[in-house]
Structure formats: C-alpha cells, structure tokens
Structure 1
Amino acid sequence: MKNIRILLFTLLAICFSACQDFEELQLDPNRTTQATPDLLLTNIEVSAFNSVPLSAALASRYLVNTDGVSLEQYYGWQRSGYGNYNHLRQVVRLEEEAARLNKPVYAAMAKFFKSYFIIGLTQTFGDVPYSEALKGGEGNFSPAYDRQEDIYLGVLEDLKAANAILASTQEPVAGDVLYKGDLKKWQMLVNSFSLRVLMSLSLKENNSKLQVKQRFREIMDNPAQYPIFGSNNDNAALPYYDLESNRYPHYNNNSLQTAYYMEETFVTLLQELGDPRLPKLAALAPNMATRPAEDLSAYGGVRGSDALDQNKAKVVGGAASKINARYYNNPVNEPALALGYAEVQFILAEAASRGWISGNAEDYYKKGIEASMQFYGIPQSSINEYLANPEVQLQAADPLAAILTQKYISFFMNSGWQPFYEQRRTGFPGFDVSGSGMLNEKRIPKRWMYPENEFQLNRAHVEAAIDRQYPEGDDINATMWLLRQE
C-alpha cells in the first residue's frame, strides 16, 4: 500500500511538471505579451493616413475607369464594410496601454483616432455602434447603434479633451511617424480636425445640443488654447520612402497606367480657370503630345457618366489624358494628405461667409488656393497670376460656389472620401450624371447600406437603427440625419 501511494505521488508530480512545462513552452520569452504604445501608435497612424483610394477619385469625378463598369463611378454601389472597427480595436488597446503605463499623451492620441475612425463610419452609414462598440471583452457582442447626433456630440467632446491633455503635458512620444513627437502639431491636428467636423454639421448650425457655431468660435477666438494649422508644414501628411512597404500606394499600379483617365468635367473646370495645377495632375492627351505641358488646351478627359464603349472610343482616338505619370512611376511622389492647411483655410472661408466668424472670407479663400498650389509645387509667380484672375475672385452674390469649387480642386488624390462628402453636403461642384452609363436612376447616392453580416450577428440593433432613420429602408438614396436641414 505504501508503495502504491509513493507511485501515485510520483505520477502526479510528473504529470504536474509536464503540464507546467507544456504551458511554459507556449510562451515565447523573446516576445512581449503586451503591445507598447509606440508600436500601436505607428500602426494606427499608418492605418489612418496611408490611403489614396481610387474609388473616391471615381465617385468624386476626378478620374474615370475604362476597363470595366465601376459602381463608384456610375453610382451603383450598395453595401460598405465595418473595417474601421478593426482599426478602432487597436485604438482601444492604445487607450488601455496609456492607462496601464500612466501615459496620458497616448490617451489624447487615442481620443483623436477614435474620433477620426468613427466619423468615417457614421458618414458612410448614418447611425453606427459607438458607446457600446468594441466591448466584446465585457461580453457585449451585439452593440446598440447610437444616433448620429449623439456620435457627433461625443466626438466633439473627445477632441476637446484631447486638446486639453496635449496642452498640459510635455511627455515624450515614441512611434510617431507623422509629427515625430511634436505635441504642438498634434494639438493643431486635433483642433483643425474639430473644425472639419463642425463644418460637416453646417446643416445643424442652429442645433442647441451641438452648439456648432459656438464651438467653432471658441476655437477661433482662443488660438493659444486651440492652435490650428498655420502652414503646409503642419499638414497631417504621411510621407513615403523608396523602401519596401513604404512606397506610394499606387507606385507601379498597372491599372492606373492603362485603364484610368482624367474626368472631362474636372479637366474642363481647370482649363476654364487657367489653373496651373493641371499639368501637375494630368498627362498631355496623346493627340496633343507635341505641345508644351503649360498649354492647358492640350489636355482632355472622358466623362464619368458616359457609357463604357463611348469612353473607350474617345481613349482610342487619343483625346483623353491619363493621370500624371508621377502617380504610378514615382515611389515617393507626394505624401498621403489626410487633412491639410489648404482645407482648413477653405473651412474658415466658408465659416466667414456663413457668418460664424468675423474674419475675411476672401483672405482665407486665397490662402487656401495658395497652400494647395504650393502643395503641388506651383511657382509663386504662377500662383500670384492665378489669384489675380477675374474668374477666380469671390463673387459677393455667391461666395460659397467659388470656395467649395476651389476646395474640391485641392482634394485631387488626397483626403480620401472628403471631396464626395463635401459635395453631398453642399451640392458644389455639380457632379455630372447626364450620360447613358449612369446607374441608380442617374442619382448620386447619399450613403452606403449596412454590411450584410450585421443582419446575421446583430439583427435587432441594425434593424432598429434602420427603422428610426430611414422610412424607405436601408437604401443608398436615403437621407441620414447629418444631411437634413434643421
């Protein structure tokens, strides 16, 4: 009996030791089990800013795809996805690590990126999960959908809190590929983004809950407390390098070289204004290839609304310009601009025109044009000549038309879907839908339908969100709260 007890004890000890060894073997001693804030920050910045979507260029009437029927170009899209929530998971981890290590500067950046990604989601769909989102660790796998008004209020408060944290610390930052740890520039980004968010609420300027005009003026009246971009040096622009995985997103993009051409209405707009940016954006039309690049009449395009066979015929005839070769030949090209000084100046010009602030709309407007041209490398002498052009001057009767048109021009191949959202909000400039290729009954969609898997995983909440927002159902032509005049 004594021998049996000894044998059992020995077997249990061996078993425990083996189990312990097996568990220990699952842990790599050379790898941390916790992500550090600097590594998280780098990945989040790249996820947020490394984007130059051709789909947005098609929908915004900058480019045309001649290789097939593009749903973005012909306005026939249906559903979009919830990819931003994958990025937000990383933001939540950054928030958690900032709290664990008591590094509030990273918490401020997490508030900015949470705002940045959620604004992208709500502008796409309308109401989306916000206050209960990303709480699977707490057992909530079917989050409720927040009203768009409440999402915007939460974002504005988060941005204000982020600015306050950044203003109160000199804490060093690692992993910042955007501003190299310059917290003043981060403050400028947070507040400049706040101005973009507030201007996107222009149809809600009298909303007592959001206090859009009051918040806008608070930023503008207190520049020491709320600094904003002061030049192109402050741009939220991710640079590229001629290194593996760090090159311009469309470098060596075969489709961009062979199937994409300039949109005719955009080319015509720049020609009518005598805009020196055109040669920086487009290549000479093949049938005009012997002319100097400065000859704006030597460029052409195809209409995004025309049928595919019509556009192909025009391309074969040599009348259509491709995009400038630097966009696919230069591994560095220009940085991916997410939010720039030019846009901020156009926002201020619009705010002054609307009476939100007391500044001079024309001054802001011309600074916006100048900043955009400098971004594209236009010589100052050409900029001055353009600013003196009678066609470019603000017209007292309708200043918003010129401001928003110039803002639209400045968005070429940058700022993601912002040019489409601006046109959706204001109607400027008019996007051509007259051609025979158009889908969606020649209407420009106002949103995207919710992802299919939401109806499988979170049906009750997504259907409740649709019912309270869209009487016509989950439709791309339905009008979200953001676009309803109050």
Structure 2
Amino acid sequence: MKHLKTLYQLLSALLLTGLSSCTNLLNEANISPNVVDPAVSNPNMIMPNIMVPMANKYLDWGWGNISGTMQHIQHDGWYGGVNHYEWAPEDWNIYYDALRNNEFLLKSSGKFHQGIALTMKAFIFGNITDFWGDAPYTESLKGDKGLFEPQYDSQEVIYKGVIEDLKQAAAIFATGDNSGYLSGYDTFYGGDVVKWHKFANSLLLRYYLRVSEKLPDLAKAGVEAVYNSGVYLTSSPEDATISFVGSSASNMWPYIFKLDQVGQSNFRRIKPAQTLLSQLMKTQDPRLQVWFAPVHVQWVADKSLPKPVDDYIRKDGVPTNMAYADDVTLKALITDGHKLTKRFNPDTYTGAPLDTNLFVGVPAGMRWPDTYNGNPTPGQTVENQHVSQLSDLYRYSNDNRFLKGKLISASEVAFILAEAALKGYQTGNAKTHYENGIRLSLQAWGVEEQYDRFIGRPEVAYQGNLEQLITQKWISSWTMSAEAWMDFRRTGLPRLEAGAGSAQPVLPVRFIYGDKELSLNRHNANEAIKKLEKTQYAIQPNNQWSKPWVIQGTGKPW
C-alpha cells in the first residue's frame, strides 16, 4: 500500500504537532503539556497509526496460532503454539494503546473522523472481548482521570456497546460527508465514505451473528435492518484491507521473508494443514494452487523395487546422487521441467504410511510433525521435500493483489446472510448468498473464472445445511482464521479434532488473560475469571479451554 511508505513521516509529523501544541499550552493551568489537543491538531495524521497496527494484529492472529487451531496451517518447527495450543498468558496492550490513539479521533471536530473512530473502537473492543472474554470497557481509557484499575464489563455489555458504536458510525457515514479528510491518510478506503458505511454495516452483521445464540431477538432485528438497507460489502474490491510496501521488516508481509534469506527457515516452517488441503483436493478447489505448492519430491509406490525405499531422489525416473536437497536446488530442477520422485515398495516397506499425492499437508496436532511423510531431514535441517510448502506467492514481501491484511470481506458478509436466511431471518435466499460467498472468495484470489465449474461439483453445490455453509466459509477465511475460530466456537463447525500432541482432546476457545493485567489490575481480573465456565479440560479457570459468556450454555463447540 503506497500510503504505508509515509507512515514514519506521519509519526514524526504527529510528534512535531504534539510538541508544538505543548509549547503553546505550557502556561495554561490543568492541561498536560504532553497531550496533543484534538481541537487544534490534525486528526488525519493519527488514522494510519490506528488502522495499520490493528490490521496487522488481526492478520497476525489469523496467520499464527489461530490459523493452526483452525487447521489452515501447521508448523513443522517451533510448533507448540500453532499445532498443540501451548498458549501462554496473552497481554492486550496493543489494543488499548490503539484505543488511546483512537480517542483522539473520537474527540475531533470532524464527523467523518468520528465515524471512523467509532468503527475502529468497535472493531478493537470486538476483538478484545472475542479473544479474552470480559474486559475493561466503560471504565477503560481513563488513566488521565486517575482510574488505573478499571472494572471489567461483561461480554454482553461490550457486544451491545460494539453494536451501538457501529450503528452511530453508520448513521454518520450515511450523510455522505467526509469533510476535513486529507488525501493519503485513510489506509483502508482513501476517504471513501460510502465504503466506510459498508464496512461499518458489515461489521454490524458480524457482531449480530456473534451474539445470535445469546441475544436472538437483537440479532434477528439487527441483521434484517442491515440487509434491508442494502449497504454492506458486495464485491471483493470493497474488502477492508491493507497492502504491504515490502521495503523493510516493518512494512512487509509478515513472516515471509525478503529479509529471511538464510535458509528461508520461517517460510519452510509453515505448512498447509492436511485438514484444509484434503478439503481443497476433494473438491478440486481452484484456490488450492494459489495458496499451496506441490511437493518437490513425490512418493511413488513400486512393487518391483528390490528394496523397501529408494536411497536417492529420481530425476525423470533415473536415480541421482541426492538423498535430499534444499528447496532452491529442487525448485530449479522442477522449473527446468524435471519430475522428481522417490519410490518405495509397499510390500516390503514397514515405516509410517507414505502419502503419494502431489499435494501433501501436515496432519493436525502431530507429536513430531517434522518427521512426517518420510522426511529424510527432520529437525529443520532443510525443507521436508515430501510435504507441500506455501505457494511462491508467500515467499515475497509484498504483492498488491493478494498479500493483504484483511479485516472483513464481502465473501464473509455473503455467508453471514446465507446463515441468517437458514435461521429464518428475512435476508433473502440462502442458496443465492451461499453461492455468492464462494464466488466472491474466488474473485478475491483471482480464480473467479473457475466458479461455474467449481459450484457445479456435487460436494460444493448448495445442499441447504449449516455444516456445508460453515465449511465453505472456513475455507474462504484463509489468512482470516480468527473469524473462522469465532464461527467454530459458536457452531462447532467445521468438525475439527485436536491431534495427539494437544494437551487436551478439544480445540481452545479463548486467550488467557495476560500477566500484566493480573499483576496491575488483579482484583478486577480475578472477578472476571470467576465468571468464566471452567470446563473439564481447563486445568485452571484462566485457561484457553474455559468458556466465556458468549458460548456458555450453548453446548458449543464441544
């Protein structure tokens, strides 16, 4: 995104603005010389410092531990958090830091900026309560008034507040007025008030659905109101996203890896989860080869082989002198048109089963995922040549078309409306929305031309059940696994199972309150912990397997 190039200049300018304001106010009583006054300063300059960190953090969750939980990816190195849910207490400082900056926008004089601030406030607090549960809300951000130990509000209060803030934001955007906006500062929509209106209403749909089991009347009325307005995301170019410049570690696609040239270890660590890969292969999903690469060396069963397993890789059927090689060497051979294989005799081979498919993922929650599928080099020596890597797209530090941090998509909105229709809400035809959700996801990943073939497959053609709908929504949430996690908590779908390496036989449902909060706001944090439902899988109440209010009493996801 071209605007990210100016991020550090904006930060510097903001600092100078703050210092200038301080100089003018030093002689005024009861006003801190260290605070920028919203009444006289430029609110545009703070916008990227809220939008960019929050989009990056949402991507971070959806590309890391949560992506492993939802079995989009697995790691075959440093895999405890991603594959086995070995989660430590998680602090939320980045969210409250962003909220403090956001207060500047909220107090500014411009209605457009206030609308953005309300939208981002809702998004941030929505994330906080989604991931942790109860949290400081009505008493938060009042340190300037001497309130340093804010009480926690219930999830019900926070979700209702999120919804009200989004309704207020939508009303502001409905005026069509973006007065006071200066070009170059809105990293999502470039000051387009219509798209901001659609974004706010789309988040409303997300959060109405989030509370639909606990507050069904509120959810039904709210979803129907947004649907009847016709104002929500309807095409993939309207998705709320940021792109990446790719010039430094701070503004490139995270994890991968222009600066990670030595061994490409970060890139090699991330593998497709077999759960997702099997689904994509079963339906011949056109997104498969956008996201993932074929194995570099494919296993081939050969009953005539005089030994259990080949000693060396074969190039076009002829043995080489390589038992294994790094991925640069193997990729060069494949690019030159060579087929690389290794053979085994299924009658005499006695090792772990070998996957002979061209695309191979890592099963969820394996105890030793680096050994999978006959890897000759376990332990991150070089890549596992018998397991798929991510596609070459993810080797790059930027790609303006596909490598984006995404907060919400038109595809997600279509699936929300489809589910709402299945629930009996008046939101049109469930089949139409379901098919549109798939089409919009294919559109976002550049393979829309294959929609007719794909939707015609028996496994994909609309069947009118929630499991099929949520499964397709789960696939479409690739790089947005956080939302798939919320759906899983709410519905128990798709039917994911923890692997043998997990400490518990079920998937986690929340983050653990952080050590800083437990230290600095102990009493209120402990009161919130008492309200969690300590399940049979939770060793202690403040645990990733304790249920927050939003799923208590629902029997979901397990």
1:46 to 35, 40, 52: 52
What does residue 63 of structure 1 align with? 73
Query: 1:308 — aligned with what?
Result: 368
Identity percentage of aligned residues: 27
Counterpart of 1:425 in structure 2: which amino acid? R
Distance 1:87 1:379 in 2: 36
Residue of 146, 154, 157 corresponding to 1:150 = 157
Query: Are 1:454 and 2:459 an aligned pair?
Result: no
Decide which of 232, 235, 260 is 2:239's aligned counterpart: 235
Structure-2 residue corresponding to 1:402 = 468
In structure 2, the residue matched to 1:85 is: 96
Tell me how far 1:63 sits from its aligned partner: 1.3
Name the SS for the 1:50 alignment partner. helix
2: distance between equivalents of 1:473 and 1:277?
40
Please tell me whether the aligned partners of residues 80 and 449 of structure 1 are also in contact (alpha carbons under 8 angstroms). Answer: yes
Alignment of 1:84-103 (within 5 A): 84-96=95-107, 98=108, 102-103=109-110
Cα displacement (A) at 1:373: 0.8
State the alpha-carbon separation in 2 of the partners of residues 468 and 240 from structure 1: 40
Pick closer, same or farther for the CA change 1:266–1:182 going to 2, 3 Å: same
Letter in 1 for 2:388: S
2:393 aligned partner: 326
Q: For residues 309 and 402 of structure 1, what CA distance do their matches in structure 2 show?
A: 29
The one-letter code sitting in structure 1 at the alignment partner of 2:252 is R
8 Å CA contact 1:64–1:260 kept in 2: the answer is yes
Deviations 1:140-161 (A, max 9, x none): 0000000110111111111101
Alignment of 1:439-450 (within 5 A): 439=503, 441-450=504-513
Going by fraction, where is helix more abundant, 1 or 2? 1
CA distance in 1, matches of 2:522, 2:297: 55
Distance (Å, rounded) in 1 between the aligned partners of 2:25 and 2:44: 26
- Aligned: 1:248 with 2:253: yes
What are the superposed Cα offsets for residues 325-357 of structure 1, whole Å, 9 maximum, x if unpaired? 211225225222211111100111111111112
Aligned to 1:478: 546
Which secondary structure state, in structure 2, belongs to the residue aligned with residue 417 of structure 1?
helix
Q: CA deviation at 1:111?
A: 0.7
The equivalent of 1:11 in structure 2 is none
How big is the alpha-carbon RMSD for the aligned residues of Structure 1 and Structure 2? 2.5
1:283–1:322 CA contact under 8 A, matched in 2: yes
Per the alignment, residue 106 of structure 1 pairs with: 113
Q: Spell out structure 1 runs of 4+ moving beyond 6 A.
A: 23-27
Tell me if structure 2 keeps the 8 A contact 1:75–1:443: no
Counterpart contact for 1:265–1:432, Cα < 8 Å: no
Q: Secondary structure at the match of 1:331?
A: coil
In structure 2, C-alpha distance between the alignment counterparts of 1:379 and 1:371, rounded to whole Å: 8
| Separation (CA, whole Å) in 1 of partners of 2:257 and 2:442 | 23
The range that moved more, 418-427 or 212-221, is 418-427
Amino acid across the alignment from 1:146: D
Does residue 411 of the first structure (1) align with residue 477 of the second (2)?
yes
* Alpha-carbon distance in structure 1 between the residues aligned to 2:514 and 2:225: 38
- What are the Cα deviations for residues 423-474 of structure 1, in whole angstroms up to 9, with x where unaligned? 12211112232x33222x2221111221112222111211112223345622
Pairing 1:131-142 to 2, within 5 Å after superposition: 131-142=138-149
**TM-score under structure 1 normalisation?**
0.85
Cα distance 1:232–1:309, how it changes in 2: closer, same or farther (>3 A)? closer
Shift of 1:255: 3.4
Q: How many residues align?
A: 442
Q: Does 1:426 align with 2:491?
A: yes
> How far does residue 385 in structure 1 lie from its aligned partner after superposition?
0.3
State the distance in 2 between where 1:416 and 1:264 align: 16
Report if aligned partners of 1:291, 1:298 keep a CA contact under 8 Å in 2: no
Long gaps (5+) in structure 1:
1-22
Q: Secondary structure at the match of 1:237?
A: strand
Deviation at 1:76, TM superposition (A): 2.4
Letter in 2 for 1:240: F
Q: Distance between the aligned counterparts of 2:46 and 2:423, measured in 1?
A: 40
Partner SS for 1:261: strand
Hey, what's the Cα distance between the residues in 2 that align with 1:291 and 1:354? Answer: 50
- Secondary structure of 1:384's counterpart equals helix
How far does residue 239 in structure 1 lie from its aligned partner after superposition? 2.0
Q: Which residue of structure 1 aligns with residue 442 of structure 2?
A: 373
Q: CA deviation at 1:259?
A: 1.6
Tell me the SS of whatever aligns to 1:365: helix
Cα deviation for residue 310 of structure 1 reads 6.0
In structure 1, the residue corresponding to 2:527 is in which secondary structure?
A: helix
SS at match of 2:113: helix
| Unpaired runs of at least 5, structure 2 | 1-21, 27-33, 299-333, 341-355, 377-383, 535-539
Counterpart residue identity of residue 171, structure 2: A
The CA distance in 2 between the partners of 1:362 and 1:141, in whole Å, is: 51
Tell me if structure 2 keeps the 8 A contact 1:108–1:161.
yes
Amino acid paired to 1:117 = I
Matches within 5 A, 1:211-360: 211-223=218-230, 227-244=231-248, 245-249=250-254, 250-252=256-258, 253=260, 254-288=264-298, 297-308=357-368, 311-312=371-372, 314-316=374-376, 318-332=385-399, 333-360=402-429
Change (3 A) 1:266 1:169: closer
| Aligned ranges 1:28-39 → 2 under 5 Å | 33-34=36-37, 36-39=42-45
Contact 1:189 1:236 in 2 (8 A): yes
Instruction: Measure, in 1, the Cα distance between the counterparts of 2:215 and 2:426.
Output: 13
User: Which of 214, 217, 220 is 1:204 aligned to?
Assistant: 214
Q: Is the 8 A contact 1:348 1:364 kept in 2?
A: yes
